[in-house]
Amino acid sequence: MSKFWVRASYNLQNVGGTVRKHKLIVAGDRFNRLIVLGECGISNSGKRLFSCLCDCGTNAVVVGGNLNSGTTGSCGCLNSEITSTRCTTHGLADTGIYFIWRALISRCNNPKNKGFKNYGGRGIKVSDHWLKFENFFEDMGYKPEGKSLDRVDNDGDYSVENCRWATRKEQANNRRKNLPKITLDGVTLSIGDWANRLKLNPASVRNRLRKGVTDPNKLLSTSRLPNKTLTGALQC
């Protein structure tokens, strides 16, 4: 019985291998760290060649069969990383750094980007130094697992001085730290402290701030809060 199953899975793999071998490679296909840009010629031995962009930002020309078989999955940076000590601390989850960079450039510089209004539209820029991917990569390296790029000053630019890799929690803490304190009747407290004291939902107060409300009475008003939102009062 066990022999049968071993054979069955072996055959399945073979079938899969055959199918994959003839799979069409088109621009935009991803093979590990490589994104196919397009076909770019025939090798001396008659194999089809594809121009690819590696996540690390390097261009590479790769034999199509090696993409499909998984033999080649990067410009070469993957292998050198595996053999370097860097690999032991960062592992292979740190792909996509090039796309992180491309996305932040787009958010700040391309008015057609969905997020532009919150970035470029708000005057947030990418430092001149970081307009070149190699500089960004040299400053920030690969993205550590579980973290994302965070601007320490939320109104500041994308620059080495203002950016770090941070967990979601660290980013949320940071955003709260940057929020102004509110003074009402001569008492100045953080939003979290006001929320606790007045049994408010701190998220509602933050929302009002974001909408431009400045009157402390309106900011800390309880009148429009349905009871059930009060359960979130201790989150801030």
The answer to whether 184 and 198 are in contact (CB under 8 A) is: no
Region from 67-75, 113-121, 158-166, 184-192 binding Zn ion, contact rule CB under 5 A: 67-75
The answer to whether 194 and 209 are in contact (CB under 8 A) is: no
* 34 near Zn ion, rule: CB under 5 A: no
- Nearest-10 Cα torsion for 94, 148, 36, 57: -80
* 97 near Zn ion, rule: CB under 5 A: no
Strand order across the 34-42 sheet: 30-31, 34-42, 48-54, 59-63
- Could you tell me the smallest distance in angstroms from the CB atom of residue 141 to Zn ion? 13
Q: Is 27 helix (H, G, I), strand (E, B) or coil?
A: coil
Region from 22-30, 45-53, 68-76, 205-213 binding Zn ion, contact rule CB under 5 A: 68-76
* 54 near Zn ion, rule: CB under 5 A: yes
Region from 38-46, 77-85, 139-147, 167-175 binding Zn ion, contact rule CB under 5 A: 77-85
Region from 48-56, 125-133, 199-207, 212-220 binding Zn ion, contact rule CB under 5 A: 48-56
Single residue of 56, 67, 100, 105 touching Zn ion by CB under 5 A? 56
* 77 near Zn ion, rule: CB under 5 A: yes
**74 or 201: CB nearest Zn ion:** 74
Which backbone phi and psi does 41 adopt, to 5 degrees? 135, -170
Single residue of 32, 51, 58, 221 touching Zn ion by CB under 5 A? 58
DSSP 226: -
- Note the helical H segments in the chain: 2-21, 64-69, 77-83, 86-90, 97-109, 133-140, 168-178, 191-198, 202-210, 216-219
**75 or 205: CB nearest Zn ion:** 75
- Could you tell me the smallest distance in angstroms from the CB atom of residue 57 to Zn ion? 7
The answer to whether 165 and 147 are in contact (CB under 8 A) is: yes
Single residue of 68, 72, 74, 95 touching Zn ion by CB under 5 A? 74
- Could you tell me the smallest distance in angstroms from the CB atom of residue 47 to Zn ion? 21
Residues contributing to the site for Zn ion (CB under 5 A): 54, 56, 58, 74-75, 77
